[in-house]
Amino acid sequence: LSSQPSSESKPAPQEPVRNKKYDPKKPHITESPLTRQNWYKHVNWLNVVMILGIPLAGCITAIWTPLRWQTALFAVVYYFCTGLGITAGYHRLWAHTSYSASLPLKIFLAAVGGGAVEGSIRWWARDHRAHHRYTDTDKDPYSVRKGLMYSHLGWMIMKQNPKRIGRTDISDLNDDKVVQWQHKNYLKVLVFMGMVFPMLVCGLAWGDWRGGFIYAGILRIFFVQQATFCVNSLAHWLGDQPFDDRNSPRDHVITALVTLGEGYHNFHHEFPSDYRNAIEWHQYDPTKWSIWLWKQMGLAYDLKQFRSNEIEKGRLQQQQKKLDQQRSKLDWGVPLEQLPVMEWDDYVDQAANGRGLVAVAGVVHDVSDFITDHPGGKAMIKSGIGKDATAMFNGGVYNHSNAAHNLLSTMRVGVIRGGMEVEIWKRAQKENKDTVVIKD
């Protein structure tokens, strides 16, 4: 119906290429099915070594490496810094431009984000934008529809066909000097920020070179990776969906605790340009707190917030949707327009002949099975049979509860022709009086 706008259709140079050897003309390995013979070709061995091999080696080495408390403390602090590099930097700043950062803050985030060893900003943000734009579809790079483990790790451990992943506009990232530089020098950034820097800190400050490498380097990387991977897996699997339940993103405090506040993921997918993930003050979102702090320090500005009117509208619409689903499961009685029409005299006759019929508000109800159960007693309900019981039912004798009205509607069997008004008028004519009040 409409052509793709210009920035969408620009050729390859705009797109980051993950593998220099990739030639779009040759058939990609993912195009041939996985077999006993070729399975090892489907595996991204580099990533297996990076994500699983090195941490495993680190764990084993840790057995012979004493853990000093200074190193432990620094590892935790550095865990939070590199985690923030991903959540506040890669994610909220670059993938979603939910706020703007001054150059020093950008450099800091690009550096510590690199130390989390999750790829360059450019590569990460491109995939992440595709994830938001094509959530849960085949174009989503880490679609949870392919399994929880796939969305957590599998998408990196198995080779991916670059053609499969949805295209997104990353022209703003290509114009960003810090992003450009980090992408070009990614391997150096990774090695230095991931391993050399923590080793230097622990080595120079308290002489624990080995501990700094193993604990604040290797093992810290492993924990930061697993934690941030949870945004792709756990956050699409565990929790509530207060804003939209058509896709998989979910809100849960456990995910928030693990991911430095990225756990309110249903909100985030609905309002990705909002610098917050948690909108309540009591929810855990240290990434939001950090961005806010940077703003106070003059390092961040233009913090974007979706209008709360629109947020509340979204929440309400989702609640309404759930309510409508529940409503459709209940018995609301035969709809009025499907009921047979009865003559008033016919109603009176049938009631006189022993059918337990009570007319309320122009609708005839069969209360036969309810007479003995009536909380107001048999005599009371019987006094309404064959009459217009509207007034009695609505306060003339007893002002029935909403529950009683609901029960009544399930007993509908017909409507009086012309409604009760016609009967009132006819009776008034007969009595030659000009009254509209009935007395039963």
Q: Which residues contribute to the site for its own copies (CB under 8 A)?
A: 1-8, 96-97, 133, 169, 172, 243-244, 270-273, 304, 306-307, 309-314, 316-317, 319-320, 323, 326-327, 330-332, 373, 375, 377, 379-380, 383, 391-392, 396-398, 401-403, 406-407, 410, 437-440
Q: Which of 221, 253, 226 is nearest to 58 (CA)?
A: 221
The label of the residue with tokens 């009205």 reads: 405
Q: To the nearest whole angstrom, how small is the minimum distance from the Cβ of residue 8 to ligand HEM?
A: 8
To the nearest 10 degrees (0 to 180), the angle between helices 121-133 and 177-184 is: 110
| Residue 332 near residue 411 (C-beta atoms within 8 A) | no
- Whole-Å CA distances, 139 to 32, 240, 268, 311: 18, 24, 19, 27
> Does residue 389 belong to the site contacting ligand HEM (CB under 6 A)?
yes
> Does residue 332 belong to the site contacting ligand HEM (CB under 6 A)?
no
Q: In what order do the strands lie in the sheet with 412-416?
A: 341-342, 412-416, 363-366, 357-360
* Nearer CB in complex with its own copies: 371/380: 380
DSSP classification of residue 36:
T
* Nearer CB in complex with ligand HEM: 244/346: 244
> Does residue 12 belong to the site contacting ligand HEM (CB under 6 A)?
no
* Nearer CB in complex with ligand HEM: 260/389: 389
The contacts of residue 297 (CB under 8 Å, 6+ apart) are none
Please state the φ and ψ torsions of residue 311, each to the nearest 5 degrees: -65, -45
Q: Choose among ligand HEM, its own copies, none what residue 210 binds, the Cβ cut-off being 5 to 8 Å by kind.
A: none
- Exposed, middle or buried: residue 246 (CB in 10 Å: 0-12, 13-18, 19+)? exposed
* Nearer CB in complex with ligand HEM: 286/384: 384
> Does residue 420 belong to the site contacting ligand HEM (CB under 6 A)?
no
Q: Choose among ligand HEM, its own copies, none what residue 391 binds, the Cβ cut-off being 5 to 8 Å by kind.
A: its own copies
CA–CA separation, 300 and 30 (whole Å): 42
CA–CA separation, 182 and 312 (whole Å): 39
Q: To the nearest whole angstrom, how small is the minimum distance from the Cβ of residue 189 to its own copies?
A: 28
The label of the residue with tokens 């991204």 reads: 44
* Nearer CB in complex with ligand HEM: 216/385: 385
Q: Can you list the alpha helix ranges (DSSP code H) found in 10-167?
A: 39-42, 45-47, 54-62, 69-84, 103-114, 121-133, 148-149, 155-157
> Does residue 222 belong to the site contacting ligand HEM (CB under 6 A)?
no
Beta bridge partner(s), residue 264: 251
Q: To the nearest whole angstrom, how small is the minimum distance from the Cβ of residue 4 to its own copies?
A: 7
* Nearer CB in complex with ligand HEM: 247/383: 383
| Residue 368 near residue 355 (C-beta atoms within 8 A) | yes
Of 28, 42, 132, 164, which lies in the binding site for ligand HEM, with binding defined by CB under 6 A? Answer: 132
CA–CA separation, 284 and 267 (whole Å): 14
Which range in 66-74, 225-233, 345-353, 402-410 contacts ligand HEM by CB under 6 A?
402-410
Of 383, 417, 418, 438, which lies in the binding site for ligand HEM, with binding defined by CB under 6 A? Answer: 383
To the nearest 10 degrees (0 to 180), the angle between helices 220-229 and 54-62 is: 130
> Does residue 404 belong to the site contacting ligand HEM (CB under 6 A)?
yes
* Nearer CB in complex with its own copies: 3/35: 3
- The H or E element that residue 422 is part of is helix 419-430
> Does residue 129 belong to the site contacting ligand HEM (CB under 6 A)?
yes
In this structure, what is the dihedral angle of CA atoms 84, 87, 89, 94, given to the nearest 10 degrees? 180
Q: To the nearest whole angstrom, how small is the minimum distance from the Cβ of residue 277 to ligand HEM?
A: 15
Q: To the nearest whole angstrom, how small is the minimum distance from the Cβ of residue 204 to its own copies?
A: 44
Q: Choose among ligand HEM, its own copies, none what residue 319 binds, the Cβ cut-off being 5 to 8 Å by kind.
A: its own copies
> Does residue 397 belong to the site contacting ligand HEM (CB under 6 A)?
yes
Q: Which residues bind ligand HEM (CB under 6 A)?
A: 129, 132-133, 168-169, 273, 358, 360, 365, 367, 370, 374-376, 380-381, 383-384, 389, 392-393, 397-398, 400-401, 403-404, 407-408
